[in-house]
Amino acid sequence: MKVLHFISRIVIGVVFIFSGFVKGIDPLGNAYRFEDYFIAWGTNWMMPYALTLSILLCTMEFVLGVVVMLNLKPKVNAWILLGVMAFFTLLTLNDAIYNPVPDCGCFGDAIKLTNWETFYKNVVLMIFTLILFSWRNKTRETIGTAGSYGIAAAVIAIFMGLSIYCYRHLPLIDFMSWKTGNKMYNDNPLPVKYYLTYKNKETGETKEYLSPDYPYNDSVWMSQWEFFEQRVEDPNVFQGHDLQIMDSTGTDLTDVIIQNPDYQFILVTWDIEKADQEALSDIGEFADKAVESGFGFIGLTSSLSEIIDSTRTKLKLNFDIYMADDIALKIMVRANPGLLLLKGGIVIDKWHYNDFPAYGDFEKKYVIPDKAK
């Protein structure tokens, strides 16, 4: 039983620490999932508290993992752990059955699980939790009361500080598709496949053929079968992102922007009205210098065109601002606004608005070394 108790502590501790960490270093991404739940539950009044709840939940999860792994105050942590696991097991069961949000994000964006997989994971963790709970009065504390609470308080302060830091800058580890170093388009396009389904006029049987490999020259067959539906399989649809850049006329500029062989800056501001206005104003001078140097600089937003025009006029922004889906923009960079630098479709760098570089620093880091090659 001691061995089983030890294994349970390690499993629970590792899972809670990992889960809390990967979400805690991306508090804004976790807050977006809270907002998804608030919308699904019809509790939109809670939206302003999403970020605070995100940081508190991740901190609680991380600290509880540390406390369980170190066996601090086992009688206390066993009750807390049981309550937490009971709540989330029931919550994930509800998610699995009714699917209010497709991805609960229990491991952030580091590991994707379906709602049923998340529920099964919690059932397994509940077994280990019950072992710890049943053994709570039979295990010795590894550290005294003062030391236990002191360690817990220190971990809370450090982890909460880390989470706030990542919110004010960028996540320490980027699990998203737009992370630095990723190439954002396919190099070698493949042929698009068209599948045609025909239905037998008498029996109702259906058969699918890869065009043009079907007996269209057989007049007897053609008299017995009729076209039913078509399916297109495009292997060139890039799976790394679903960003679509549109101008005011509805023209798709995605490939032109992303595949720019030279330096291409993309200012991401999913909501211009909620964006840091000082940062938007400051980036205007940077953009002017970039364009003067022959580099690309655009903005992307999901805000309405009237708001885009008024903001450009108010802040004297000379660069073009195009439309994109807000969810795609939130995935690109965890900041409003945030700045990405691409070259030849590869993400070279990205910045939170608190860390926007001076244009001279950009030249020293990237342009001058390129010219020296």
Instruction: Indicate the helix (H) or strand (E) that contains 277.
Output: helix 277-292
For the entire predicted model, the pTM comes to 0.84
Give the mean model confidence (pLDDT) for residues 188-206: 86
Tell me the mean pLDDT in the region 270-294. Answer: 95
Judged by average pLDDT, the poorest of 13-17, 30-34, 108-112, 191-195 is 191-195
Q: Residue 240 — pLDDT band, cuts 50, 70, 90?
A: low
**Confidence label for 129 from pLDDT (cuts 50, 70 and 90):** very high
Residues 15/65, Cβ–Cβ less than 8 Å: yes
Q: Tell me, what's the pLDDT at 301?
A: 96
Q: Tell me the pLDDT tens digit for each residue of 78-98.
A: 999 999 999 999 999 999 999
Q: Which residues contact 145 (CB under 8 A, 6 or more apart)?
A: 73
**Confidence at residue 228, expressed as pLDDT on a 0 to 100 scale:** 87
- For residue 239, is pLDDT > 80? no
Alpha-carbon distance of 289 to 356, in angstroms, equals: 14
Mean pLDDT of the chain: 92
Q: How many whole angstroms separate alpha carbon 122 and alpha carbon 87? A: 10
Least confident of 59-68, 226-235, 262-271, 323-332: 226-235
CA dist 333 and 64 (Å) reads 29
